[in-house]
Amino acid sequence: MKLALVGATGLVGQKMIEVLQEFNIPITQFIPVASARSAGTNVVYNNKPYTVITPEQALALNPDVALFSAGGSVSLEWAPKFATVGCTVIDNSSTWRMDTTKKLIVPEVNGNTLTSADKIIANPNCSTIQLVMVLKPLHDKYKIKRVVISTYQSVTGTGMQAVAQLMDERAGIAPNKVYPHTIDLNVLPHIDVFMPNDYTKEEMKMVNETQKILADTSIKLTATAVRIPVMGGHSESVNIEFENDFDVKEIKHLLSNCHGVTVQDDVANNLYPMPLTSHNKNDVFVGRIRRDESQANTLNCWIVADNLRKGAATNAVQIVELLLSKGLLV
């Protein structure tokens, strides 16, 4: 299997290399791809250096699968070209997520919908992925009516330049600013651009993508997305109203038996999910599971995941793994 990684030199691209190695994906030819300015540099895969090439050069090699993590404009231009030659594209940008002709996939949630006809597959937004991993089993059991989400998102979600801004500020060095304000010792209720309805694009992604992945537009969602000065992962405070009542112990048991979800909920011993402990893990962690005492049939919980892992690289590689298991890449 020939695999191209478009955006191989970026933060998510480098994480994809790590995860591909860990999952032992059977690649016979690894093709690292980046922009013309990065072409000719080397990246390391399985302890071997590979020369980075341009998308045009990679296309000529007829890869079987291509992981895209190079931004929306690159995906818009090149994903259809790769798909046209029979390559299966898994795209990490927002370009194809809400395209009605493209699947938006979290393998544990809706991976069973994939077919050989799906040549461009969208990887959801990082904060959406960890959310639906918890919502799916609860929706199946109790039927969700409404979800209120507040996020606490890592600077790594913005990329290397944002990490550099935080570290420079922390070291007292004048930074090259990616954010409109200082991020160190601060909280920014502003992720992506503001939309006409005064929500940010990130907030609306969570609303629209969740409905698409769960295949249920009747679920009402509202979100406030916040950037905080951490690097281990994204955190979410989630309030879920159900049509049917529930037992908290039953919910904990249900989530404990979901593949890819780890329940960390032992407040007597101060055990709950945190970015520091979710860092470099592939699971989604959930805790602080408790009844909302102000409203019937409503639950509060706290969800944390490494946004570069399950929120991006791991989910994409798991899609490759699923396609292989279903015989859709041969």
Q: How many CB atoms lie within 10 A of CB 159?
A: 14
> What gap in Å lies between CA 218 and CA 100, rounded to an integer?
17
Q: Is 126 a catalytic residue?
A: yes
Q: Is 312 exposed, middle or buried (0-12, 13-18, 19+ CB in 10 A)?
A: buried
CA–CA dist 8, 211 (Å, integer) = 31
- One of 234, 258, 279, 301 is an active-site residue; which one? 234
Exposure string for 265-302, b = 16+ CB within 10 A, e = fewer = beeeeeebbbbeebbebbbbbbbebebeeeeebbbbbb
Give me the catalytic one of 87, 126, 258, 301.
126
Cβ neighbours of 227 (radius 10 Å): 25
Distance of CA 262 to the CA centre of its chain: 17
258 part of the active site: no
The catalytic residues are: 126, 234
